[in-house]
């Protein structure tokens, strides 16, 4: 149904944004401590 497609699409985008945000957060924390952040 349309609801299933919308739900899966929403979760896919949500997880993608969450993963991207976590990567930026980890890099920011690494740079805070003066270490070289992971190159992704």
pLDDT in tens, 5-39: 999 999 999 999 999 989 999 888 888 877 654 55
Q: Are 3 and 13 in contact (CB under 8 A)?
A: no
Asked whether residue 12 is assigned to any structural domain, the reply reads: yes
How many domains are there within the chain? 1
Per-residue confidence (pLDDT) for residue 12, from 0 to 100: 92
Whether 39 is covered by a domain: the verdict is: no
Q: Containing domain of residue 22, as a range?
A: 1-33
What pLDDT shows up at residue 5? 94
What pLDDT is stored for residue 29 in this prediction? 83
Task: Report the pLDDT value the prediction gives residue 28, as an integer from 0 to 100.
Answer: 87
Question: What's the confidence (pLDDT) of residue 11?
Answer: 93
Output the CA torsion 24→25→26→32 (10° steps).
Answer: 110
**Predicted local confidence at residue 30, as pLDDT:** 81
Are 30 and 37 spatial neighbours (Cβ–Cβ below 8 Å)?
Answer: yes
Judge whether 14 lies within some domain: yes
């Amino acid at each position: 149904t349309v609801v299933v497609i919308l739900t899966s699409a929403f979760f896919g985008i949500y997880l993608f944004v969450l993963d991207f945000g976590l990567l930026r957060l980890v890099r920011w924390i690494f740079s805070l401590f003066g270490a070289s952040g992971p190159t992704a």
